[in-house]
A and B are shown apart, each in its own frame.
Chain A
Amino acid sequence: MTRIGVVTFPGSLDDRDAQRAVRLAGGEPVALWHGDWDLYGVDAVVLPGGFSYGDYLRCGAIARFAPVMQTVIEAATHGLPVLGICNGFQILCESHLLPGALTRNAHLLFRNRDQRLTVENVDTAWTSAYRPGQQIVVPVKNGEGCYVAAPDVLDRLEGEGRVVFRYADGNPNGSARDIAGITNERGNVVGLMPHPEHAVEDLTGPSTDGLAFFTSVLGALTSA
């Protein structure tokens, strides 16, 4: 069975939900620990949401230097699929695996709601089970989710099709060009602020639209 690691940092909140999403999608979740250098041979890694290290200094700034991240960064540059959700997206930006940064929401409010997104890139390891242009609804919950990058970086992301998700029906945090999630050049690293792992079951989520993140990567790994 395909094994997907979920890293727990001090202050992670959504690691259990991410593990559960992996299980519901048909994979085997593997708990990884921030202070551990070893990835135990997992086939992909999820950096979950939360407030690693209390969001001290900047969101994700201290987690980026955790032992496990040195191994994740190295493996990601060699093609390991890595998904960063919310705080995980912030960690990926602090790690420079993804360009830009997440800053305080433009309106200063913590935003917590069900959010409609447009899937714009279905060629990544984490989105291949979606249709181009598909609209999905997943929860968004953040205080520092305002995506910023230099104009030339934004132009390059758009030009290379690396904007994976865009906010539809309203931008919850002031992100540049309504960007909700992006990918690296290779398409194995994806980061987004909204939470697909909270939308995997009718009982607990606004939809089951998030499940396809996890079936995507399982499919990509099985066919590889």
Chain B
Amino acid sequence: MTRVIVDVMLKPEILDPQGNAILGALPRLGFEGISVVRQGKHFELEVDAPVDEAAMRQLADTLLANTVIEDFTVRVVE
């Protein structure tokens, strides 16, 4: 088994109201000096070796991310 990590983030130009809400809570908790919070999604897939990285990218592109509004990265670990 190999682990594949897919991270999905809203494109920089897309408003992230959830990230902004988190940012707004930080000063109340005493955390200062943080100017931006962006919230994304993190997927961990257990995949039979050897991993077909192109297929993993296709999976991310087709289902895990909506590339109209999101960017993704695929990493094969261990």
- Residues of A bordering B, CB below 8 Å: 57-58, 61, 65, 93-94, 99-101, 103-108, 146, 148-149, 174
Decide if A101 touches B63 in the complex (CB within 8 Å). Answer: no
- Whether a CB of chain A sits under 8 angstroms from the CB of B77 is no
Task: List, in ascending order, chain B residues with CB within 8 A of A94's CB.
Answer: 66
B64 adjacent to A105 (CB under 8 Å): no
Chain A residues near B14 (CB, 8 Å)? Answer: 103, 148
Bound: A173/B15 CA distance, A: 12
B40 contacts chain A at the CB level, 8 A cutoff? no
B17 is an interface residue with CB less than 8 A from chain A:
yes
* Contact among B21, B63, B64, B66 for A108, CB-based, below 8 A: B21
Closest Cβ of chain A: how far from B41's Cβ, in Å?
8
Asked if B18 and A108 sit within 8 Å, CB to CB, the answer is yes
The residue of chain B having its C-beta at the shortest distance from the C-beta of A104 within the complex is B17
- Across the interface, name the chain A residue whose C-beta is closest to B14: A148
Question: Do B69 and A103 touch across chains, with their CB atoms under 8 A apart?
Answer: yes
Seen from chain B, the residues whose Cβ lies within 8 Å of a Cβ on chain A are 10, 14-15, 17-18, 21, 63-64, 66, 68-69
Shortest distance between the CB of A173 and any CB in chain B (Å) = 10
How many angstroms from the CA of A158 to the CA of B77 in the assembled complex? 45
Interchain CA distance A106-B21 in the complex, whole Å: 10
Question: Do the beta carbons of B17 and A107 come within 8 Å of each other?
Answer: yes
A–B Cβ pairs within 8 angstroms, 29 of them: A57-B64, A58-B66, A61-B63, A61-B66, A65-B63, A93-B68, A94-B66, A99-B68, A101-B66, A101-B68, A101-B69, A103-B10, A103-B15, A103-B69, A104-B17, A104-B18, A105-B17, A106-B15, A106-B17, A107-B17, A108-B17, A108-B18, A108-B21, A146-B15, A148-B14, A148-B15, A149-B68, A174-B15, A174-B17
Instruction: Give the total number of A-B pairs whose CB atoms are below 8 A apart.
Output: 33
**Distance of A182 from chain B, by nearest CB (Å):** 13
Could you tell me the distance between the alpha carbons of A149 and B69 in the complex, rounded to whole angstroms?
A: 8
Bound CA–CA A224/B17 (angstroms): 45
> B18, A100: Cβ atoms under 8 Å?
no
Scoring B10, B14, B21, B68 by chain A CB atoms within 10 A of each residue's CB, the highest score goes to B68
Known: A100-B68, A101-B68, A149-B68. A57 touches B15 (CB 8 A): no
A104 contacts which chain B residues (CB < 8 A)? 17-18
Q: In the complex, A90→B17 CA distance in Å?
A: 18
Distance A149 CA – B13 CA, assembled complex (angstroms): 10
Instruction: Provide the residues of chain A in CB contact with B69, threshold 8 Å.
Output: 101, 103, 148
Expressed in whole angstroms, the minimum distance between the Cβ of A143 and any Cβ of chain B is 11
When C-beta atoms are compared, the residue in chain B nearest to A94 turns out to be B66
Residues of B within 8 A of A106 (CB): 15, 17
A107 to B20, CA, bound (A): 10
Complex interface: chain A residues within 8 A of B63 (CB): 57, 61, 65
Report how far A103 CA is from B64 CA in the complex, Å. Answer: 15
